[in-house]
Structure 1
Amino acid sequence: MASNSRADFAHSISTQNSPGDTAISIRSRAIGPDVLRAVAILLVMLVHLPVEATPSFLLGVRTYGWLGVDVFFVLSGFLIGIQMFKELSRTGRLDIKSFYIRRAIRIFPAFFTVLGLYALFPVLRDAPTMQPFWSFATFTVNFNFDPRVGRAFSQVWSLCVEEHFYLILPLLVVLLHRRINTKQALVAGAAAIIAGMILRYTLWETQVAVLVETGNFRDAFSVYLRDVYYPTYTRLDGLLFGVTLAGLRHFYADAYRRYAPPKVALPLGITFVATSLVLFSLRGPLEGANLFLVFQAQLGAVVGFPLVSLGIALILGAMLDLDDVMARWPFPGTASIATLAYSLYLSHKSVYHIDRVLFGEENLQGNLGFLIYIATSFAVAATLWYCVERTFLLIRDRVMRPGSTDRSQLSKPQSS
């Protein structure tokens, strides 16, 4: 994509966090990221939707709803990365203080509002047990997160991963800027991906395999979630591929267009995602699995994450390059869903639970149950967005000095 084109992401969209950031204040909307964000949050909601209220045509999709989190990770890596690379190119420095303030104002108000409601009103909790509140407040709940001990508000494990990313990446950029070149940075990123694969293999062999060998498949799956799936140090693939995509498109724009045009990147990305889904097809409790299927699940845990992340990154790159084409297609409701993504992410599990309390689970089956779950989720999310998210974004845009990190037009509240 030419740097001065309509779809130039460096000019068209502000920095966003994966589940929650929205593309509200942009000069020229890039359609692709909104589409991916909307799809991602709908997948996350679908995977938590009771099976009884899931339309039959979505049952097969529901199995792979977890893919939404990986889409969010790649989006976050790309959007934060392109913001930082642009600022470095423009000013020669990175305003870390401004970055952290903007991130805090973007993420904390809605998060702590929902967390406070969970603390004050136990009836809102979507599960009987919950991890300690201090672990949520410090964004460390994804470490040693055993779903057998507490599951309420469990979806924020991925927000914790992103918070750690937001904390560390700017420091690394400042530390390594002018000390290593882009090629060396790419080598370091590849080394981190390989290290993650080795770590997940080791954790599987030492923590999960023992339970699988004794036939304790359900506990094996819980340990897999605790030690392999949730921790930040095992889930950096999507964020790293997102940052890599940002670096390639920013520093090697011509080479990227030459070697990864949409006609190459899009089918290749779809192939990688499809292959990873096959590997993850038995990522569940593994109950009754034979040795070959267990090996397939292990292979998914080791190589599936980088494979799916690479595929999503290629698809994102292709969608950015096809922005002029996509702008002519109708995507009704996409921008609104993307705008509400963070509020939906934080609140939908509690809303599902309250629906069951108010209406009775037996009355929330089939298409009617599906409509009630979705309608109430969007109503609550819209309220949270308008009362909390939008309010603090407006405040932030008024108090942040002109020219601060990733500042855009203020005609509407920003998303970053």
Structure 2
Amino acid sequence: MNRVFSLDVVRGMAMAMVLIGHLSVRGFPMYLPEPLASFQRMSWVSMEVFFALSGFLVSSLLFKEYSQTGKINFFRFLARRGLKIYPTYYVVVLCSAAFYLTRGSFEWGRCLRSVFFLANYEKSFWPHFWTLSLEEHFYLSFSFLLMLSLKSARSNFRLLGLVGILLPLSAFAVRNYLLWDAEYASYYRHLNPTHLRWSAVILGAWLGYFHVFHRETLIRMYRKRAVFVRVAVGVIFFLLSLSPLRTAWVARFGLDLSAIAGVCVCWIALGDAEAFAVREKWLRVFRFLGKYSYGIYMFHYPFRVLQMYSEQHYLGGPVHPILNIATYFLVSIGGGYCLTRLVELPVLAWRDRHVPSHSSAKEVPEIEPQRLAA
């Protein structure tokens, strides 16, 4: 499994923001002092970083295979993605189904939406499942569109490029139309649906295209504008920390701004890869979080709900905030680590033996599917 240190660090930083964001979960708010409150308000932006990473990594793998062989084995790609995502995901789904059955609150609708990756259109077992749904839709859609593009008389990705421009524009237009007179956005009507949330993954796919076919130009452009790119990302993050996600202006314009910031963060990781490597000693914690982020992401939200529920109903009320937060971080990270070691890695070892990847390029790391539930 090939990994890139700087991208793992970025993924780990985003995972840390996810954990901070979910100190409060639905039904169990936790009010934090500044600056943690600002981090919590803007923690949803880490989702756009994850989406941009997924778009970049998926497109890089496919474009790399095409550049080396002149064709793409889509069946192999989708099989490898499935073996990466499904085992851990469905273990959590099965455990969740058992949990709700024992409580007598099992709902078939939520179960089916969890099983078939429709969690971003209606409620599923857990709110954070919606991000996996969006990414699954992207994997399938991108593969299908790339296959159609390669079947054209001129295999130059024109169809894919056209769709890659029109989809973000249409998402922006439709979302703004739906929010025209609204003060607050709805998760399942305005914020979570795939057709309204393409921007980050598609911008990430564009980055992957340029990284494979125009890498030197991409890196040279970044190094000429590095200060501007970093400042722009900082300004966007600051603006988005001022208002909650459901505020209308954030939903109308902030999602696309955060998508731009997300892909710029990935661009920074590529352009400053050597600087990340020099600081490896100080960034190991984030690298660890990045390496195990999928397992941590899948485990952390159910645990947080169970933790807060147990404190309220079995421990006589909230425990000391420091103990509460420390327990949440340690158990979430530890549980995610165990989930990765016991489920994900053994399946990946089997996958690499029986469904080998075409590309062995070191610059294309393993894809990590995980995101932030708003």
Equivalent position of 1:326 in the other structure: 276
Tell me, which stretches of 5 or more residues in structure 1 are unaligned?
A: 1-24, 213-219, 287-296
Give the TM-score normalised by the residue count of structure 1.
Answer: 0.77
Per-residue deviation, 1:415: 5.8
Indicate how the Cα distance of structure 1 residues 343 and 257 shifts in structure 2: closer, same or farther if over 3 A, else same. Answer: closer
Alignment of 1:128-277 (within 5 A): 132-143=110-121, 145=122, 150=123, 152-177=125-150, 179=154, 181=156, 185-205=160-180, 209=181, 212=183, 220-221=184-185, 224-258=186-220, 260-265=221-226, 267-272=228-233, 274-275=235-236
Alignment of 1:44-63 (within 5 A): 44-50=18-24, 52=30, 54=32, 57-63=35-41
Count of residues in Structure 1 that have an aligned counterpart in Structure 2: 354
The whole-number CA distance in structure 1 between the counterparts of 2:236 and 2:367 is: 33
Indicate how the Cα distance of structure 1 residues 56 and 285 shifts in structure 2: closer, same or farther if over 3 A, else same. Answer: same
Query: What secondary structure sits across from 2:242 in the alignment?
Result: helix
Larger relative contact order (CA 8 Å, sep ≥ 6): 2
The whole-number CA distance in structure 1 between the counterparts of 2:108 and 2:127 is: 8
Equivalent position of 2:255 in the other structure: 305
Per-residue deviation, 1:183: 6.8
Give the TM-score normalised by the residue count of structure 2.
Answer: 0.85
Indicate how the Cα distance of structure 1 residues 92 and 228 shifts in structure 2: closer, same or farther if over 3 A, else same. Answer: same
One-letter amino acid of the counterpart of residue 191, structure 2: Y
Kept after mapping to 2: 8 A contact 1:200/1:228: yes
The whole-number CA distance in structure 2 between the counterparts of 1:39 and 1:408 is: 24
The whole-number CA distance in structure 2 between the counterparts of 1:152 and 1:171 is: 29
The equivalent position to 2:323 in structure 1, one of 368, 379, 394, is 368
Equivalent position of 1:291 in the other structure: none
Per-residue deviation, 1:189: 2.1
Equivalent position of 2:371 in the other structure: none
Kept after mapping to 1: 8 A contact 2:10/2:269: no
Per-residue deviation, 1:78: 0.4
Query: What secondary structure sits across from 2:14 in the alignment?
Result: helix
Per-residue deviation, 1:346: 0.9
Kept after mapping to 1: 8 A contact 2:58/2:367: no
Kept after mapping to 1: 8 A contact 2:46/2:262: no
Query: What secondary structure sits across from 2:283 in the alignment?
Result: coil
Equivalent position of 1:9 in the other structure: none
Superposition RMSD on alpha carbons, in Å? Answer: 2.9
Kept after mapping to 2: 8 A contact 1:269/1:313: no
Tell me, which stretches of 5 or more residues in structure 2 are unaligned?
A: 369-374
Indicate how the Cα distance of structure 1 residues 180 and 115 shifts in structure 2: closer, same or farther if over 3 A, else same. Answer: same
Query: What secondary structure sits across from 1:281 in the alignment?
Result: coil
The whole-number CA distance in structure 2 between the counterparts of 1:131 and 1:365 is: 37
The whole-number CA distance in structure 2 between the counterparts of 1:361 and 1:73 is: 40
Kept after mapping to 2: 8 A contact 1:124/1:353: no
Query: What secondary structure sits across from 2:146 in the alignment?
Result: helix
One-letter amino acid of the counterpart of residue 14, structure 2: A
Equivalent position of 1:13 in the other structure: none
Residue identity over aligned pairs, in percent, reads 23
